[in-house]
Structures are given as structure tokens and as C-alpha cells.
Structure 1
Amino acid sequence: MSRIQEPKLLEVVTVLCLFLVIMFLSVSTLALPIQLALFASWFLFIGLGLKLKHTYKELQDSILTGIYNGLEATLVLFTVGALIGTWIAGGVVPGLIYYGLQMIHPSIFLLATMIICSITSLATGTSFGTAGTAGIAMMGIGASFGVPLPLVAGAVLSGAYFGDKLSPLSDTTVMTASLSKIDVIDHVKGMLFISVPTYIITAVLFTVVGLFYVSGSADLSRAESVATALGENFSIHWYTLLPAVIVIALLAMKKPSIPTISFGALLGILWAIWFQGMDSVEAIKTAYNGFSIDSGIDFLDSLLNAGGIEAMLGVIALILLALGLGGLMDRIGVLYAFSSMFKNWVENGKEKKSGRLTVSTVLSAFFGNFFGSAAYVSMITGTKITEKLYDEMGADRRALSRNTEAGGTLTAPMVPWSDAGVYMTAVLGVSTLEYLPFMWLNFISIIVTVYFGYKGRNFWLDKKSQQNVDQSA
């Protein structure tokens, strides 16, 4: 008989409640770095693990395993930090902002932001890459128009995650399909009947806000002064945008993200030397130290004084701590406890079980982000906690995969300490809690997913399966 004990539900709930107390007390009340809160939480879960008869060595190994499984995200952050610093120095980001100010009217700016980020994300399959390229440019344009940055970030994320969820090139899309044991194209098709109406609703919302709020409050004189300042401080021509075109094209061709983004950073250095007249050593330094400018316009300086690997070190530390925590939780059996709880809730429900099963999958995936702090964890929790229930009830595995995407991919940037939440805050310059209310596509998609779950739409393998489950309820 194994010496290791399974955690009781009360123990799991108690430890998770203490985790939330540590997080919110440290961040909201004491204003401590969130990294310290996560580090302290390690010992909370280590304590539970020791109580359940795990050895410290086993618990430490689980931390290392959790970090290893999500290490790619930290490597991407290194390259993105270098990319942002060199692209600003090379005039790529200033050029995107400059031409955007010339072409996009404030009244359609939010809608254009969502569409541009959607296309970029669909083509590249990465919400991170979209936010780090098109997203930064749209943030700069929005700031020039005087649009509240949290609102702009909401439009960026709505577009980025729409494309990320539906792109066959997306790692989360491929991973979800694989874990759900279905073809990736079938998975994408299974999400369309939810994603299309959701996108239309969100587009209408951003259009209305743009026409009646942004258009009336836009400061065009500020935009003109920004464009003038950009023209005075950078040499901007059509070819300054080539690094962005090349990187997006390579990502769309499914080239590996780390070497592709690193190549983009190299192009930024060359552009800074060739076209901006920077000293070669100083241009190279922007990859680590970031870019610095004094244009005389405070908000423009705050936007362009950014980037560099150095700026990402705190973010990387946070992600490593969060990944280690996720490994701990998996090791001590927290996920298994949730699986048992959801199974009992679904099987004992009197209303349509498809609805309860949908909610269970969405919550299971969300818990992967909230407690595991990484999107890849949410894909695992969303599928593995509830997959057997789908098979027992004769439900379509495409329902499992789309529900996992809704609870996992779409909620990843909603959690301040998740890899996506930390990354988006660092790149867009807006905190998670500030942009959270404006992630309209993400929220609407989750609501529509749950609604169709209770309706049983595109949920069952056949009508007989549905009738059998409904009769047993």
C-alpha cells in the first residue's frame, strides 16, 4: 500500500483559500511584489504535501518539473524583450504608430484595433506575438488619440485571443485538440458557431464605443504633435516597417517563435544602425537595456522608453515561481480532488447535464490558469478532469475541446499571476485588473459557450445519447 495520502476536499479548499489570502493581502494591502506572494505560497503547498507523506525531494522535483514544462514561455519573453527594445530603436514601432495615425480615424480605431490584431493572430497563431507587435503599435496610436489605454488593451486582447483560439498554427489550439483526441481542424470548426456570433457582438460594441465615446473625446491635435515628434526623432519610411512584415510572415509560415523573434531583434539592431544613425554598440545594447528617448512629450517618452531583456527579468521570475506552484499542486493531488467534485456535481444534477458538464470544463480550465498560473496547465486541467464524463454520456469530444478553450485560452490573461496576465501587463503597459473589464470578446465567448452548453447545441454524438442522459437525470 502506498504511503502517500490523497488530499481531502476540505484540506484542498482550506489551502486554496489561504493561497488567495496571501495573494490579495500581499498585493492589494501591503503592496508587496507579487513574486514574494507566490514564493511564500510555495511553502503553503509544500506543508500540505509533507502532511500527505510526500518527501521534500519529491515536492522539490515537482517544482522543477512544473518550471521545465513551461520554460518556453520564459525563453519567448527574453526574445520579445530584445525585440521591443531594438524595434523602437530601429524605428519599426515608431513607424507603425506614425502610419497608423495617418490612416486610422479615431471613430473606428477600437474596431480597427480588434480586426488588425485578429488577422495578425490568425496568421501567426500567437497572442503573445500579436500583443508584442501589432498590439504595441495600437497602444501607441490609441494613446495619441487620447483613448484610455485599458480600453485599447481590451480591444488588442479581444482580437489577439480570437485569432489565437481559431488559428491551426496556435500551440494552445493544437494542444487542446491533441489532449481532447480530435483533429485540429475539427476542433476549429467546432468553435466557429460560437466564435463567429461572439466576434460580431464584440465588433458592434467596439464600434458603438468608438462612434459615441472615442470620436467625441479624441484629441487630434495631440495625435498631430505625436506624429510630428516621431518624424523629428526617427527617420520613418516604408522600409522601416519591413522587420515587422518579415517576422509576421515567418510566424505565419509556422517557423519556430524563439529564433524568428530573435531574428526580428537582429533586424531591429541593423535598422537602428543603417536608418536611424545609431552607434553599433549602442544599438546592440538596446536588446538588453531597452531604448531611451527624450522627445519633449511625456507620454510618448513613457511609451518608447521601453523594451530590453532587463525589463523582462521581473516578469520571468514571476512566471518561474508560478510554474513551480502549478507543479506542486499537480503533485499533491489538488487537480484530482477537483475532478471528483465536478463528477459528483454533474451526475447529481437534475437540469440538462450538458450544461453542468460545460460549466465544469470551463471552471476546470480556469482553475489551471488561476492556480497553475499557465495556459498549458489549463489545457490539461480542462480536458483531463472532465473527459471521462463526456465519454460516459456519449458527448462529442469537440464539445470538450471548445469548452476547454473557453475556460483556458480565453481566461489566461485575466489572472494577474498567470504567464499570459504577466506578459500582457509587461508588453501593453496596463495592469491586468485595469484591462480586465474591457476584454469583451473573452467574456462574451464564455457566456455564449455556457448558454449553448445548456441548450445542448452541437454537444452530443447522436440524439440517442442525449435522450439516455436526459432520461437518467
Structure 2
Amino acid sequence: MAKDARLPTVLEVVGVLVLFIVIMFSFMNLLELPIQLALFTSWFMVIGLGIWLGFHYKKLQDGLLQGISNGMEAVLILITVGALIGTWVAGGIVPSIIFYGLSVINPSIFLFATVIICALTSLATGTSFGTVGTAGIAMIGIGQGFGIPLPLVAGAVISGAYVGDKLSPLSDTTVMTSSLTKVNIIEHIKSMLRVSTPAFVITCILFLLVGFFYVGNNVDLTQAEEAMGALQNHFNIAWYMLIPPLIVIALLALKQPSIPTITFGALLGAIWAFAFQGIPFLDAIQTSYGGYSIESGVEFMDTLLNTGGMVSMLEVILLILLALGLGGLMEVTGILRVICETLLKWADNAGKVTLSTLIAAFFGNFFGGAAYVSVITGSKITEENYERLNIDRRVLSRNTEAGGTITTPMVPWSDGGVFMATTLGVSTMAYLPFLWFHFLVIIITVIYGFTGKFIWYTNDEYDSGDYDKNKVTSQV
């Protein structure tokens, strides 16, 4: 903080937050301007507050750049996923998965199967982005072939994808949260299972019921048959088209870094396009940058498969950079610190502490635009209250993920929200009502907080009988 600068008052913070919401609503709904312009305008609103508080512009700019730096990994992953989608369509990989899915999966259990497949993929790989960028786009294609509403399919895809993002020891947000809260990663996952298991079971039942009573009676298989015919006419469909995704999933499961692994997967797609689809190798490589283009004669298939490439992610990347920069400005001006101090005064029991963590983590997504920001705000803003009330840090880590990781795809301008909407071709507000796993995790977390269920205290014995406090409070 600059020497002569001061923290904003609560009234000033509330004013900024209200003005931010007004700007977002006005630009997106009334003026129909791009959300990027709304975020860019919000930069200068917060910069204006910072100068009013006595900050030098250089200090504010440094905070903005630091915020962008915190989320650059997501930007790099977006670039590689764009390349992967382009070559995997050209290589016949995505078309083959869609074809076999239409052939094998019964429409009545499709949504249930989608949740299970995406959950298993994300648990094995630890990445929701990788899951949605591979299995997710295939499920969208199959669902569209069956004539199932895409927001419903997207809800099933994202619900399954975030099971692993939240629970897999390979997940970056899981590792980061356990590290920030000083909770052993295995204990952190065991604590989250208390919430995620019932949430996942109920989610599966809901999608199964929707499949039987809604989808099963409304599916016209004519569209699916047309799609399968178009795919066979334009692509070489074969079992060996599934080799690249299996290799990528295996590498991610072996804890290989996401960016080079996904890039290698994109290269495999180009090789497959050259070897099995008859596309010249340079043209196949070009699809990693410019995407794939097809005219199959089936409109929805053309819409689905004319996609991918690094350039397809440029608008998304701009949006994420603007959101991250806003989060950095919120941090450097002390807005998040004031919110922290306010929550500290208010939260005086387990229920309020739980709710305050969910709010603080959600603020990280809403104003910081990234899951990484949310787990920082969720854990650091509220950890003092857990210590004051002698509540075990396993509860803090669990609540941080419930408010941070889980709410990321719910915010249209967050890295997760933008990625899901762009990759699946369904807007955030369209798929939001169907994120049943996410809503259930939040609801169950709040219920546990206010009922005291699975709220452990530092002087309690762990109910499994093998809880070692020294182990739990050690850094990952």
C-alpha cells in the first residue's frame, strides 16, 4: 500500500460492488455490448477508487499485472485445448467418439452415462478443462444427435467434470487448497467426500430420472441416424481413433504436466489426420491454429465440428485477462481485505463461518475471475475465524473448495465459466440451472455448517480412528 493511502470504508466497498454489478448488467443486457468492455470499464472504476484512496497509479498497475499473472496457466491451457480440439476433429477422433456414442448409448441413460464418464475422466486426470475439452465435446455431439437440449447435456458434462476437479489428488485446485490451508491432501479429500458423495449420488439419480421420464419419451433417432451417416461419409471411423485420447488421459493420470500433455495430444491428432483421414500434414497442423471446417450437409453437425484452433480461444483469453486484472485491482486497493475484516466480525459460529468461506471464495471468482483466486480468498480471508473457534482446518479446506472450485463455472466471466461456455457452445446462463452437482455441494455444505454435522474441532478425535493432527496440519 502506498505511504499515504488508506483502506476503503465498508460503504465505499459496497458502492464499488454495486456499481460493478450495474456495469455488468447494463453492458450485457441493456446495451448488448461485449462483456469484455464491461470488465475493461470496471478496471477504471476500481482504479478511480484507488487514486481516491491515495494510491499511486504505478502501484495499481502492478496489482493489475499481478492479478493477470496469477491466472496465466489457465490461459496457456486454453491455447493448447484449442489446438487439441482442432486436430482431434480433423483426425476423426471426436467424430469417432460421437459415432460410437450414438451407436452404443441408450438415449434414456445418456445423461446419467455422461455424468459417470466425465466424472471418471476427471478423477483420472484431475482436470475439468481437459475432461470437457475431450469427453465433454464428444458428449455434446452425441446429445445433439439424440436431440437432447444442449444446456441439459452441458450441465451433465460439467457436473461430472468437477467431481474430479474437486476430488482428484491430481487436480491443481485440490493440491493448492490443501497447501494453502495446511491440510494433508488425503485428509482434505476425505473431508470433501463427506459432502461430494451424497451430492454426486443425488446428481446421478436426478439425471437418470430426467433420462427415463423426459429424454426417453422425446428422442427422435432420425437425427442421430443422419449424423452417423454424415460422419461415416466424411471421416474414417475406426476403433484406433480412440488411441490419442487414451494416451492423453493416461499421461495426465501419471501426473504429467497439463500443457505439454495436451499439446502432445494435439500433435497426435494432426498425425491421425494425415495418416487416417488423408489430410496433408501441413493442413493437419494448420487445424491446430485455425480449426477445422466441414460441410457435411447436416446443419447441427457442421455447427459442432466447424470448431477448434488457437484462434477460437482469443476472445475467451481476452475475457479472462480482463477478469484477472480486475481481481488484482480489487486486491491491491484493499477491497478484499475490508471484506475479510467484515466477515471476521460477523462469523461467530460454525454455520456463519461456513457461509462466510463460501461467500469469500465466490467473491474470488466473481471479482477475480479465476479458481486460483477463489481458493486464496476463501482460505485466507476466513482462516482466522476457524482458529478462533477451534474448528479443524479440514473444514476450512472443504468449505473453500465448495465456495471456490465449485462456483467457478457459474460465473460467466471467470476462467472456468468462459472455458465451459466456449468449448461446449452453451452459454453460462443457459447451463447454470443444470449444474446440479454444484448446487448440491453448496447446499449440503451449508446444512453441515448450521447443523454441526461433520464439523470437527481441534480437540476432537477423528472418527476413522487414524487421524494424526501433525499429519493433517503439515504442508503438502
TM over 0.5: yes
Distance apart, 1:129 and its partner CA? 0.4
Q: Does 1:147 align with 2:148?
A: yes
Q: What does residue 166 of structure 2 align with?
A: 165
For the 8 Å contact 2:236–2:277, the answer to whether it is kept is yes
Alignment of 1:120-139 (within 5 A): 120-139=121-140
Q: Does 1:22 align with 2:23?
A: yes
TM-score normalised by L of structure 1 = 0.96
Aligned equivalents of 2:254, 2:460: Cα separation in 1? 43
Report sequence identity in percent: 61
Aligned equivalents of 1:375, 1:117: Cα separation in 2? 19
Q: Does 1:406 align with 2:394?
A: no
Aligned equivalents of 1:432, 1:358: Cα separation in 2? 26
Please tell me the residue identity of whatever aligns with 2:70. Answer: N
Aligned equivalents of 2:319, 2:197: Cα separation in 1? 35
Q: Does 1:456 align with 2:457?
A: no
Aligned equivalents of 2:16, 2:235: Cα separation in 1? 53
Q: What does residue 60 of structure 2 align with?
A: 59
Aligned equivalents of 1:445, 1:72: Cα separation in 2? 26
Indicate the SS of the match to 2:26.
Answer: helix
Aligned equivalents of 1:460, 1:363: Cα separation in 2? 21
Aligned equivalents of 2:55, 2:453: Cα separation in 1? 44
Q: What does residue 194 of structure 1 align with?
A: 195
Q: What does residue 258 of structure 2 align with?
A: 257
Q: What does residue 470 of structure 2 align with?
A: none
Aligned equivalents of 2:331, 2:8: Cα separation in 1? 11
Distance apart, 1:461 and its partner CA? 2.0
Distance apart, 1:464 and its partner CA? 7.8
Q: What does residue 307 of structure 2 align with?
A: 306
Classify 1:60/1:462 alpha carbon distance in 2 versus 1 (closer, same or farther; 3 Å).
closer
For the 8 Å contact 2:194–2:454, the answer to whether it is kept is no
Alignment of 1:351-390 (within 5 A): 353-390=349-386
Please tell me the residue identity of whatever aligns with 1:126. Answer: T
Q: Which blocks of at least 5 consecutive residues in structure 1 are unaligned?
A: 348-352, 466-473
Alignment of 1:331-370 (within 5 A): 331-347=332-348, 353-370=349-366
Q: Does 1:218 align with 2:214?
A: no
Q: Does 1:446 align with 2:442?
A: yes
Aligned equivalents of 2:460, 2:150: Cα separation in 1? 51
Please tell me the residue identity of whatever aligns with 2:215. Answer: V
Aligned equivalents of 2:403, 2:454: Cα separation in 1? 18
What root-mean-square deviation, in Å, do the aligned CA atoms of Structure 1 and Structure 2 show?
Answer: 1.2
Distance apart, 1:418 and its partner CA? 0.4
Aligned equivalents of 1:238, 1:140: Cα separation in 2? 18
TM-score normalised by L of structure 2 = 0.95
Indicate the SS of the match to 2:217.
Answer: helix
Aligned equivalents of 1:305, 1:212: Cα separation in 2? 33
Residue by residue over 1:246-268, the C-alpha shift from the partner in whole angstroms, topping out at 9 and shown as x without a partner, is 11111111101110010011111
Aligned equivalents of 1:6, 1:64: Cα separation in 2? 20
Indicate the SS of the match to 2:296.
Answer: coil
Q: What does residue 280 of structure 1 align with?
A: 281
Q: What does residue 412 of structure 2 align with?
A: 416
Indicate the SS of the match to 1:306.
Answer: coil
Distance apart, 1:463 and its partner CA? 6.7
Aligned equivalents of 2:262, 2:164: Cα separation in 1? 19
Aligned equivalents of 1:399, 1:436: Cα separation in 2? 26
Residue by residue over 1:207-252, the C-alpha shift from the partner in whole angstroms, topping out at 9 and shown as x without a partner, is 0000000011111121111111101110011111111111111111
Q: Does 1:9 align with 2:10?
A: yes
Residue by residue over 1:356-404, the C-alpha shift from the partner in whole angstroms, topping out at 9 and shown as x without a partner, is 1100001110010001111001000100111011011110101001101
Residue by residue over 1:408-448, the C-alpha shift from the partner in whole angstroms, topping out at 9 and shown as x without a partner, is 01100000000100011110000000000000000011000
Please tell me the residue identity of whatever aligns with 1:418. Answer: S
Please tell me the residue identity of whatever aligns with 2:186. Answer: I
Q: What does residue 75 of structure 1 align with?
A: 76
Q: What does residue 324 of structure 2 align with?
A: 323
Please tell me the residue identity of whatever aligns with 1:249. Answer: A
Aligned equivalents of 1:400, 1:463: Cα separation in 2? 16
